[in-house]
Structure 1
Amino acid sequence: MTNPRVLVIIPTYNEAENLPTIVARVHAANPDVHVLVADDNSPDGTGKLADELADSDERVKVLHRAGKEGLGKAYLAGFAWGIEHEYDVICEMDADGSHRPEDFPALLKALVEQNADLVLGSRYVRGGKTVGWPKHREILSKGGNTWVRLVTGMKLADATGGYRLFRRETLERIELSTVASAGYTFQVDLAWRTVRAGLKVVEVPITFVERELGASKMSTNIVAEALWRTTVWGMQYRMKRLLGRR
């Protein structure tokens, strides 16, 4: 893949404080990429700000959504937009700066040079780390990933992370129309679909930085629900394989 057309999807809900900075950092890291801001009708004016950025820079696009439906729905809408506009590589990135755009070139390099179908920005491979997290949150995250490996059989260190690059062909192959998960569960779902499709997944170390501005959307309840859903998926998958062998 030479000079791929790259789209970075940034979902937003009340991210007016962070949006201009993150877009500028994305283009500082890679001036050629396009950014799609998928805004869920933010009451703080993030959508209007996104329009102003798009008016001044043709590399910025905006997808206005009717209301807050969660991270998964926003990404699915962004994926559909990116596929329709024939981007070669589509990236997930948070608006709050926790996914450092400065790590983006390494992820893209891995996708191209290692011929990967999905590249995960990983906090838990050698060289990866988190900055600014309380210890209990790091324990919860690492424990969640350990549980995901146990119940699904995926050999991924960080299947729950949301900083990742897909080839367009990968998204076309993993049946996005059947994805019903959202948030934390959504990231596990897409990684597992990619693994089950027999596609190549590569993990690249990143530094995850806790947001400085705005409020985090993550909660213990969201994580607990995600782990429960993942457990159900794993049990269903193993049962189907067992019945298939019989």
Structure 2
Amino acid sequence: MTLPHLAIVMPAFNEDEGIRGFIDEIRDSVASLADRVSFHIADDRSTDSTAAVFDDVADVTVEVQPVNRGHGPTALAAYRAGLAANPSVLVHVDGDGQFYGRDFPRLLAALTQADADVVHGVRDGRTDPWYRKALTAAVGVLIALAAGRRIPDVNTPLRAYRPDALRVLVDAIPADAAVPHVHFSLAEARAGFTVRYLRVASIPRRGASTTGTMWGRGSGVSLPPKRLRQFVRGALAEAWALSLRPSAPLRSIRRPEPASR
């Protein structure tokens, strides 16, 4: 099956070392699967040349955000930019390039063959510091208790969505949400979205510097940075307010009637 229009969306911050090569790799992998492929980058006020890397590339649009707001709000901005292009399918992935382009056709095949609303790329072999893995595991336990079932890799940034399903999620969440993918995963489970999970390889961030990531990189960092500890406290409060408390607004999300596919 050939898609009429595939949109790839990315939040990015200081990724000029690797982002162009990553997009080239994705394009090569999916070009035969869609009549049109477009890339939409939300740049979170990078201090390097990320915003200018694609000045000469026709299928890539870069929207520099008004202020630096962090990963969650920038991911939501990328989603909205992709939805505005009216794609047939939308794929989200972080601009740090921690996946192989060859897994994108597998993600799309899982979405179309299962007639799913969303496919999550479940990361194998993560090279993140131990505390990021521990945080993901702890959040996974919390969300499993709330959803009534385990959700693999609850915060994975690699996701393929049907636009009708994604719009329901994006429209329901505040633009400044810090952990939108956690909210998405829980809402999908509660609302009966058709979700598929696909194991994919996770690789180190592309690029030699550490300026493109908030939380540090590699396994040698022994303690969580203070900024991460502050982020976790805020994210937990947000999760309670938006998704977990009995009257949380995101509890009202309902799966849309599937559009013609």
Q: TM-score, normalised by structure 2?
A: 0.77
* Pairwise CA distance, 1:2: 4.5
* Pairwise CA distance, 1:220: 4.3
Q: Percent of pairs identical after alignment?
A: 26
Structure 1 or 2: larger helix share? 1
Note the residue ranges of structure 1 that are not aligned, 5 or more in a row.
124-128, 242-246
* Pairwise CA distance, 1:181: 5.3
CA–CA distance in structure 2, aligned partners of residues 136 and 81 of structure 1: 32
In the other structure, the counterpart of 2:166 is 171
* Pairwise CA distance, 1:60: 1.8
In the other structure, the counterpart of 1:114 is 114
Question: Deviations for 1:42-85, whole angstroms, at most 9, x for unmatched residues?
Answer: 22121111223x2xxx3222223222122222232222222222
Range with bigger deviation, 168-177 or 82-91: 168-177
**Cα distance change, pair 67–134 in 1 and its aligned pair in 2 (3 A):** closer
In the other structure, the counterpart of 1:148 is 143
Question: Deviations for 1:186-227, whole angstroms, at most 9, x for unmatched residues?
Answer: 111122222333211111101112325232223344345434
| Total equivalences in the alignment | 231
1:211 and 2:205 matched: yes
- Superposed, 1:119-130 pairs within 5 Å as 119-123=119-123, 129-130=124-125
CA–CA distance in structure 2, aligned partners of residues 29 and 155 of structure 1: 31
In the other structure, the counterpart of 1:230 is 239
* Pairwise CA distance, 1:21: 1.3
Aligned partner of 1:20: which letter?
R
CA–CA distance in structure 1, aligned partners of residues 3 and 246 of structure 2: 41
CA–CA distance in structure 2, aligned partners of residues 99 and 134 of structure 1: 17
**Cα distance change, pair 26–77 in 1 and its aligned pair in 2 (3 A):** same
CA–CA distance in structure 2, aligned partners of residues 80 and 97 of structure 1: 20
In the other structure, the counterpart of 1:194 is 188
RMSD: 2.6
CA–CA distance in structure 1, aligned partners of residues 192 and 204 of structure 2: 33
* Pairwise CA distance, 1:121: 0.5
In the other structure, the counterpart of 1:133 is 128
For the 8 Å contact 1:9–1:37, the answer to whether it is kept is: yes
In the other structure, the counterpart of 1:47 is 51
* Pairwise CA distance, 1:34: 1.8
* Pairwise CA distance, 1:36: 1.1
Note the residue ranges of structure 2 that are not aligned, 5 or more in a row.
216-227, 252-261
For the 8 Å contact 1:37–1:50, the answer to whether it is kept is: no
SS of residue in 2 equivalent to 1:171: helix
